[in-house]
Structure 1
Amino acid sequence: MRTSRRITALLGGFATSAFVLAGCGTGMESAQQQPQQQPAPPPPAQSGQQPAMGDGMTTAEDVFGPGCAQVPTDPSNQGSVQGMIDDPVGTAASNNPLLTKLTAAVKAAGLVDTLNDPNTQYTVFAPADPAFDAIPPDQLNAMLSDPAQKEKLSSVLTYHVVPKRMDAQSLSQAKTVDTVQGGKVTIEGSGQQLKVNGANVLCGNVPTANATVFVVDQVLMPQQ
């Protein structure tokens, strides 16, 4: 009897083990048959204006500042923001009604061709016409008409030019930038509240064919 009970118990144990193994085998096969989950696709890019790319390039939509309201709005006008985009900065500035005195100074210094060089990228801090009123008239006239003053005039103007293209964001991050003249210009503020050597930006991020322009309310003077 005891032997019979042991055999019965062993058979029952084998049956239970076989059932469990069969169940495990079915689960493994089911798991193998299930397709692997694919990683979720990345979220779609946000629409709307994208941040500047960091190369100093800007578009008409990036332009900012209270002085921009004085720029012509008709895209067919060469002095408008749209009209300036395709012209090199020397030509573009000459068409802008805010920059007539700067244009005269650039011509007197013989810098038009330099600024129009299509193979060179610039950032230009362009004094608006009222900025020149802070310079005594006799001193300004001498700088514009006296050949002996040409070198001094060129030094002042090239102090307004950075030999690479920068937008408002990259300027505010840099804090100081080297100019073509050799001196440094200090940048304060951020966003649409930039100051260049203490001068307010009246209209910034203005794109031209080879430069990004910031119209400022003061003539910047290099240290002697």
Structure 2
Amino acid sequence: MRKITRTTGLAAMALTLSLGLAACGNEDDDSSASETSSSASESPMESESMESTPMESESTMTEGSAAAAPFGEGCAAVPTEGAGSVDSMATKPVATAASENPLLTTLVAAVGKAGLVDTLNSAEALTVFAPTDDAFAQIPKKDLNALLKDKKALTEVLTHHVVAGQLGPDEVGGEHETLAGDTIEVMGEGEAWTVGDEKAAVLCGNIPTANATVYVIDSVLMP
């Protein structure tokens, strides 16, 4: 009888110890699982918070850059670097900047013949609608030569292409008084604009210079 009682007592102690260890093990497992679960639930929120701000900042910068950039298919003909490039023109007054642009050699010659270089370069803020060489080539050669020799008429034609203020794409639309004292109307939206009664198309718009904004157009505007 004593042997049976003693054996039974030892078995009971062993069972109790085993259950206790198992319980401790379960508690440790539960604690680890709880910590892991808590960490997992916090990490995505922290990651999302860290990633969202740079994405918003990048979007804002992109929109700002796009708003300031020149636009139009004709901009592909503007040099990408060096003299005549957008970066180079932005540092020089408008008549000097135009003299570097390969699209505007006839206009630059006409400005020189009319004696308007200093007038344009010293102005505080202008918008210039600048006809390309191809635009001047549309005028019969005899008529163009006559115009280039008539300083008064040439000045009137050239100043008809210039308005006060540096007008961006959000301001250029509408009717504007020119330096010639008459008016021109600019119509359109986005990147599609026409200028004057001739409906001259803007080929490359919103080109910055030190004191002006230039819109390269495909026709010469007549007063």
Alpha-carbon shift at residue 48 of structure 1 (Å) = 2.3
Higher helix share: 2
Q: CA–CA distance in 1 between the matches of 2:202 and 2:133? A: 13
Q: What's the secondary structure of 2:119's corresponding residue?
A: helix
Q: What's the secondary structure of 2:207's corresponding residue?
A: strand
Q: CA–CA distance in 2 between the matches of 1:116 and 1:157? A: 14
For 1:71, the equivalent position in structure 2 comes to 78
Residues 15-73 of structure 1, C-alpha deviations (whole Å, 9 max, x = no match): xxxxxxxxxxxxxxxxxxxxxxxxxxxx9876224569xxxxx98x5100011000111
Q: CA–CA distance in 1 between the matches of 2:64 and 2:162? A: 24
Q: CA–CA distance in 1 between the matches of 2:78 and 2:186? A: 24
1:47 aligns with 2:60: yes
Q: In structure 2, what residue type is equivalent to 1:69? A: A
Give the structure-1-normalised TM-score.
0.70
Q: In structure 2, what residue type is equivalent to 1:176? A: E
Q: CA–CA distance in 1 between the matches of 2:202 and 2:209? A: 17
Q: In structure 1, what residue type is equivalent to 2:163? A: V
Pairing of 1:76-155 with structure 2 (within 5 A): 77-117=82-122, 119-144=123-148, 146=149, 149-155=150-156
1:214 aligns with 2:219: no
Q: CA–CA distance in 2 between the matches of 1:168 and 1:216? A: 14
Q: In structure 2, what residue type is equivalent to 1:143? A: L
Residues 67-86 of structure 1, C-alpha deviations (whole Å, 9 max, x = no match): 10001112xx1201111000
Runs of 4+ residues deviating >3 angstroms? 43-46, 49-52
Give the structure-2-normalised TM-score.
0.70
Query: Which is higher, the Rg of structure 1 or of structure 2?
Result: 2
Q: Report if aligned partners of 1:168, 1:194 keep a CA contact under 8 Å in 2.
A: no
Q: What's the secondary structure of 2:79's corresponding residue?
A: coil
Count of aligned residue pairs for this structure pair: 166
Q: CA–CA distance in 1 between the matches of 2:215 and 2:135? A: 13
Pairwise CA RMSD:
2.0
| Structure ranking higher on relative contact order (CA contacts 8 Å, 6+ apart) | 1
Q: CA–CA distance in 2 between the matches of 1:89 and 1:49? A: 27
Identity of aligned residues (%): 49
